[in-house]
Amino acid sequence: MSKYLLVSPRNYPIENYLNYFQDLVEVKIIPESLKEIDPKKYKGLILIGGEDVNPKHYNEKNLFENLNEINDERDLAEFELIEKFLNYERIIFGICRGIQVLNVFFKGTLYQDIPSELNLYTHKFYKDKTPRNVEVYNNDTYHKIKIINRNPIFENSEFIVNSRHHQAIKKVSDDFYIFATSEDGIIEGIFHKKLLIFGVQWHPERIKQEYNFSSIKILEFLKNDRF
């Protein structure tokens, strides 16, 4: 039970995740492999980045059909997996889309498009609108976040992370507390109040080495043998 299950749609690029997690994970393609997945075999579940969660799952219309990329099969498959892993109280970790999937599963909501709703262009690179003082590398923007609440991974601190997302948590689920935010108020990290379920909005699997503090801390937590 030492490995985590990392699930991905077919033909989705996961090389960065494999390089980051290495032998900590086993990969399954969803929804094809959904029925054969047995949570008892794994230490936990890892939900990765990708398309947008269908707004119908948090009782909203799709306000930006030209922007939002929806994969209903993936939404339903990941919701089912969360339910399965919850039943065995396994660790669940969400990255980027993954934190949003967790929040929606537990009855939270999302901003459907950060630039349209908040007039912010710092969490994804927009050629003519992202401020020039924002560091950009491989189309990820880099910005500071602050740890605002005690959590099992990070001590109170500030550090740089990378982003490439146009959606974000709006109302956090009542089952979670916020442990990290960006300087402009975007929720960057949440942790379940009772269970080992958490998510981050940034991409620890592909961050520049000079900023990989958070990536190291997350791996240390996931590898902890006490869980």
Pick from 121, 94, 124, 119: nearest CA to 108: 94
Segment 149-183, tens digit of pLDDT: 999 999 879 999 999 999 999 999 999 999 999 99
Which CATH code for domain 4-222?
Answer: 3.40.50.880
The domain ranges of the chain are 4-222
- The reply to whether omega before 31 is within 30° of 0 (cis) is yes
| Catalytic residue set | 96, 203, 205
With the C-alpha atoms ordered 180, 181, 186, 188, is the resulting torsion angle positive or negative?
negative
For the entire predicted model, the pTM comes to 0.97
Residues 196-205: tens digit of each pLDDT: 999 999 999 9
Task: Render pLDDT for 43-69 as a digit per residue (tens, 0 to 9).
Answer: 999 999 999 999 999 999 999 999 999
| b/e sequence 157-174, b meaning 16+ C-beta within 10 Å | eeebbbbbbbbbbbeebe
